[in-house]
């Protein structure tokens, strides 16, 4: 059933957060901290990113400890750590499975239980149209049906702030919590 050569599930590519392609995520992070918009991170921008990553890692670690420190000693024992990992992995797989099923429900037009190239293409297009509509709804302030330069700038600022906030919350941290 599973083709072993298919390492990445391409149907995941369109999900805006989970399954985001690493290079796109990298670009999003870069954009979020490139405050002067010169396309790269200077020392100040880099240290801001580094700071936020530390804050995020700490937040993530605290959440994990809160959830899995069964004996309340403020540390995760090997056992508690293993349990935490197991539970996180299980949750991730459950989410992935749910997305897969939802996608099949919407886009598996011939009902063969898989997304063909054409069905994937349709899914991609659908998501693109949907994203575009969402953008307009949120950022087309003068309601002329397109995004002016100012509206695009406002949208970028909003997205950048959201990304920075997510990083500070320790969502999708790039490093595992410290041992
Ligand atoms: Ca910069
Ligand atoms: Ca199909
Ligand atoms: Ca507009």
The pTM (predicted TM-score) of the whole model is: 0.71
- pLDDT band at residue 44, thresholds of 50, 70 and 90? very high
**How many A from CA of 114 to the centre of ligand 2?**
4
Q: Which residues surround ligand 2, an ion (CB under 5 A)?
A: 108, 110, 112, 114, 116
What number of other Cβ atoms are within 10 A of residue 55's Cβ?
14
Cα-Cα-Cα-Cα dihedral of 125, 131, 135, 137, to 10°? 90
pLDDT tens readout for residues 92-149? 999 999 999 999 999 999 999 999 999 999 999 999 999 999 999 999 999 999 999 9
Contact indicator for 14, 127 with CB cutoff of 8 Å: yes
**How many A from CA of 152 to the centre of ligand 3?**
9
pLDDT tens readout for residues 47-98? 999 999 999 999 999 999 999 999 999 889 999 999 999 999 999 999 999 9
- Residue spans of the domains in the chain: they are 20-168
**How many A from CA of 139 to the centre of ligand 3?**
7
Least distant ligand from the CA of 37 = 1
**How many A from CA of 157 to the centre of ligand 3?**
16
Q: How far apart are CA 73 and CA 66, in angstroms?
A: 10
Q: What is the pLDDT of residue 176?
A: 41
Contacts 24+ apart (CB under 8 A), 22-27: 25/172
Quick one: which of 47, 44, 60, 31 has its CA closest to 161?
Answer: 31
Least distant ligand from the CA of 117 = 2
**How many A from CA of 43 to the centre of ligand 1?**
9
């Amino acid at each position: 059933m599973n083709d072993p050569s298919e390492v990445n599930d391409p149907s995941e590519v369109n999900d805006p957060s989970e399954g985001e392609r690493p290079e796109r995520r990298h670009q999003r992070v870069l954009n979020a901290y490139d405050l002067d918009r010169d396309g790269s991170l200077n020392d100040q921008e880099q240290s801001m990113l580094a700071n936020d990553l530390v804050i995020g890692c700490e937040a993530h670690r605290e959440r994990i400890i809160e959830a899995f420190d069964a004996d309340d000693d403020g540390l995760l024992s090997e056992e508690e750590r293993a349990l935490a990992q197991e539970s996180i992995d299980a949750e991730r797989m459950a989410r992935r499975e749910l997305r897969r099923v939802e996608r099949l429900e919407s886009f598996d037009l011939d009902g063969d239980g898989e997304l063909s190239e054409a069905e994937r293409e349709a899914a991609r297009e659908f998501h693109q149209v949907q994203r575009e509509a969402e953008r307009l709804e949120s950022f087309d302030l003068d309601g002329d049906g397109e995004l002016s330069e100012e509206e695009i700038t406002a949208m970028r600022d909003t997205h950048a702030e959201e990304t920075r906030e997510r990083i500070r919350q320790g969502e999708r941290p790039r490093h595992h919590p410290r041992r």
